[in-house]
Amino acid sequence: MKARAPRTLHRETWLRHWEGSPVLRALLGLSSLYWPSDTTGLFREETSDLLELLCLPRSTSQQTVCLKTEVEKFVVRHFDLAASTMTAIKHALQRDIFTPNDERLLGIVNVCKAGKKKKNCFLCATVTTERPVQVKVVKVKKSDKGDFYKRQQTWELRDLTVVDAKDASKENPEFDLHFEKVYKWLASSTAEKNSFISCIWKLNQRYLRKKMEFVNVSSQLLEESVPSGESQSVAGGDEDALEEYQELSAREEQDIESMMEMCEFAVSNAEAFAEKLFKELQVLDGANIQSIMASEKQVNILMQLLDEALAEVDTIEGKLSSYEEMLQSVKDQMDQISQSNRLIQISNTNNGKLLDEIQFLVNYMDLSKGHIRALQEGDLTSPRGIEACISASEALLQSMNVALRPGHEQLAAVNQQQKLFAELRDTFARRLTNHLNNVFVHQGHDQSSTLSQNTAELTLPKHSPLHRDLLRYAKLMEWLKNTHREKYEGLSRTYVDYMNRLYEREIKDFFEVAKIKMAGTSKEAKGKFGLHGSSGKLTGSTSSLNKLTVQGSNSRRSQSSSLLDMGNMSASDLDVADRTKFDKIFEQVLSELEPLCLAEQDFISKFFKLQQHQTVLPPLAQPETEEADGSVPSRMAPQADHRHSVSSEKDVVRLMMNKIFQSIEPELNSLIALGDKIDSFHSLYMLVKMSHHVWTAENVDPASFLSTTLGNVLVTVKRNFDKCISGQIKQMEEVKISKKSKVGILPFVTRFEEFAELAETIFRNAERRGDLDKAYVKLIRAVFMNVEKVASESQKTPRDVVMMENFHHIFSTLSRLKISCLDAERREAKHKYTDHLQSYVINSLGQPLEKLNHFFEGVEARVAQGVREEEVSYQLAFNKQELRKVIKEYPGKEVKKGLDNLYKKVDKHLCEEESLLQVVWHSMQDEFIRQYKHFEGLIGRCYPGSGITMEFTIQDMLEYFSSIAQSH
């Protein structure tokens, strides 16, 4: 029978007749549920016929009852059919898709995409069986080519952000799921949609607990109405709902299979098989009831035994009650005894605590009479008296700093004792301050250690006895620092002021002696070099002056002023002894200053206790107004209270040292200026020596006063060194040569050699080798440039000779000294020397055979123009007769005469210092032989068979060159 639609004629009547009927609602819900999966069409056909009957008007109540009965049977039958179909689908999906992937199917809904052609699929909510549990939403679709399902798409539930049910009050099968994009679905029924949404909410609550938004969803569906006390049962219900599906175990499957094998119609007739099982179950129930009734006698006996046991229990309970009364009496008595003991114990405890408090105050708030006497009248000059004062001050400080317990401040005895301690503290602080002030003032005015009276030894007075005597008061200074900060700072100021005066006198006398020894003891030396002159900057020196050797002849010295002359002094005025004397004096100055500063810094740290914790800079350490050159840099900005906050007590020590030794840096600069004025090359010595002392000081303490001061002076010396290099370069640029005499070795080339020899001796194993290398590069480049400049301006001596001799001298110097940073310049000097030697030889050889050279140059020109070599002889100007005529003009005698004149001219051009005459003459011999062979080759190629040869042979030329060289 084909499905037919209800007749529209009676539709209005039918709707009014069946409106609100639960049968109609069930039928319509069943239609929406089952129609999408009705593959045979049977359900559609039966539903259509039934709806057609419902559209007929009602005749009698009996017909209506019968019709309702038919509808109810139909609904029940097909609801069961739909439920069994979904169960079968769910079972198939679990078996075929999710079990192989270790997943459990907990929720399913039959859907299709909203607004598109209806292609049914299933959305499944699953969880993994392994931990950690992963919750997923899987889209499953039935295959078009077979009766099986396949997984089409999977989403993680944690990626789901919004679930939109569209309408919470009306039945609406549509809903949206918001993953990375919005998916719109149409469920087969509202019930399935609600069941699936509820499953998703439960999975989120159990496994994820993330903030997921449920829009247009009934609160009852999300279980929001469940009271908090029932959360446990709700969670249990969720667990049961999530674990609704349980797969059969292997043993259960075996039992079912064996049961079905015993019945032949277990598969063909399921209802008969079920009936048979039901009957067997009834038989077993009856047997169980009969077994229970047969055991009535044993039950009676058991009841009798129970009655006897209850009677015995009553007897025992009576005895236990009497025992309890007795124990209660004992308990009351023990309580009274315990109360008495507790009161006694409290009293003893209070007495013990009171005794402890009294002993604490007596032990820590009491000061012996000996300590009081030492603080009031103790001798601060003798070692025994100082020790007694130290012990008394420590005891007083300990008593004053004791941590009082709550309530002690209210005791009159405690207040009286604290007042006594304050008076003793003030009295002793005043006595100690006055005594140390007197010591500082006396030492500052002491004139016995001045240096001007004894100039034999360049040494500074030692202050170790004063330091040793004052260090006995170090612990008292620490006590004063902790108790009377103002008096401590006052003593610090006094010490700095008076020691500044003392050291200023001693250092001034010390440097006066150093300047006298450096420049000479006569008054003329003082006036000449200005011992009280301008300040300069500090550099270093080396101690290896004894190895210095002065090279060069007196003739070389007479040609130029000394390399060392930056102060208008000649090299003859300075010798190795002078430089050795300067080096020793400068080293002695630094060697005397370094231990002096280190000893004073060590004393300040120990005496004023400035080496452990951070502090506030006292006013005494505030640097005074800076000089224009910034010789004593201030690292702290002034505050409103005229104090400087420093990062550590090392800074305090350094600033105190700056004020005590504020004269060291100006005196050093003055001494350096004098040394630089005497000889500018003293800056090399000072640069090396000062660099070594700075390096040593920085290894001990990079932020110390000595390191900072020597570093500032080192900058000055480096500037003097740079000025020295710049002065030499300027001298090179201003050099003038005589127009009447030959040039020879230029003065600045000789001075560079002397500078390099001296610098290599001074800077051997020095820390500032890099500065010397930079100076080398500047000087050598200036030397190269000015050699070429002088060679171009030379009128008496050929340019090639000037270049050849000077670059040969530079090459020899660099090769001998092996200065690694000038390897490239050494190679360049050799290249220039070779090139200009060759150029000079070629140009000079053109004069002895001038016409012959011109003739063969013309031959080569014709060949270059395209004339074949064998046809050159047919040229009018270059025929055989012209060749013979030119050759006859140069017989052996004339050639020897021309070579002799050439030798004299070369000898006149070259200087004796470089001894290059024989080298040049040998090069000319080689070049002459090469030209001879070249001429013979041209004659052989251009004049073949002519028999024309030179008037002299190679052997003749060798004899000519040898005899000429020997004759001179």
Structure confidence by residue, pLDDT tens digits, 598-651: 888 888 888 888 764 444 444 333 433 333 333 333 333 333 333 444 456 777
Whether 230 has a pLDDT exceeding 60, the answer reads no
* Per-residue pLDDT tens digits for 491-517: 989 999 989 888 888 889 888 888 888
* Per-residue pLDDT tens digits for 330-344: 888 898 898 889 988
Whether 571 has a pLDDT exceeding 70, the answer reads no
Q: How far apart are CA 919 and CA 356, in angstroms?
A: 110
Q: Provide the CA 562 distance to its chain's centre, in angstroms.
A: 53
Whether 480 has a pLDDT exceeding 50, the answer reads yes
| CB distance 245 to 87 below 8 Å | no
Q: How far apart are CA 666 and CA 682, in angstroms?
A: 18
Whether 894 has a pLDDT exceeding 50, the answer reads yes
Q: For 43-57, 145-159, 312-326, 597-611, which range has the lowest pLDDT when averaged over its residues?
A: 43-57
Of 50 and 96, more confident: 96
Q: So what's the pLDDT on residue 631? A: 38
User: Quick one: average pLDDT of 649-673?
Assistant: 86
User: Quick one: average pLDDT of 710-718?
Assistant: 88
Q: For 13-22, 730-739, 801-810, which range has the lowest pLDDT when averaged over its residues?
A: 13-22
Of 241 and 185, more confident: 185
* Per-residue pLDDT tens digits for 402-446: 777 787 777 777 778 888 888 888 988 899 889 998 888 887 776
User: Quick one: average pLDDT of 37-55?
Assistant: 50
* Per-residue pLDDT tens digits for 722-768: 888 888 888 888 877 776 667 778 888 888 888 888 888 888 877 77
Q: For 31-45, 163-177, 187-201, 365-379, which range has the lowest pLDDT when averaged over its residues?
A: 31-45
Q: What is the DSSP letter of 154?
A: E
Strand pairing category for 644-645 and 616-617: antiparallel
Whether 523 has a pLDDT exceeding 70, the answer reads no
Question: Which tokens hold the place of 635?
Answer: 């690292």
For residue 446, which amino acid is it?
A: D
Q: For 157-161, 833-837, 899-903, which range has the lowest pLDDT when averaged over its residues?
A: 899-903
Q: What is the DSSP letter of 97?
A: I
Q: So what's the pLDDT on residue 16? A: 46
Which one, of 178, 196, 201, 224, lies nearest residue 86 by Cα? 196
Whether 465 has a pLDDT exceeding 70, the answer reads yes
Whether 325 has a pLDDT exceeding 60, the answer reads yes
Q: How far apart are CA 579 and CA 683, in angstroms?
A: 11
Q: So what's the pLDDT on residue 83? A: 59
Helix and strand totals (H; E) in the chain? 31, 10
Of 586 and 629, more confident: 586
Tell me what the pLDDT averaged over the chain comes to.
75
Element of type H or E holding 213: strand 213-215
User: Quick one: average pLDDT of 662-667?
Assistant: 89
Whether 353 has a pLDDT exceeding 60, the answer reads yes
Distant-in-sequence, close-in-space partners of 490: CB < 8 Å, separation ≥ 6:
433
Which one, of 787, 580, 750, 808, lies nearest residue 682 by Cα? 580
Which one, of 576, 572, 574, 596, lies nearest residue 584 by Cα? 576
Q: How far apart are CA 413 and CA 366, in angstroms?
A: 11
Q: So what's the pLDDT on residue 125? A: 94
User: Quick one: average pLDDT of 260-273?
Assistant: 73
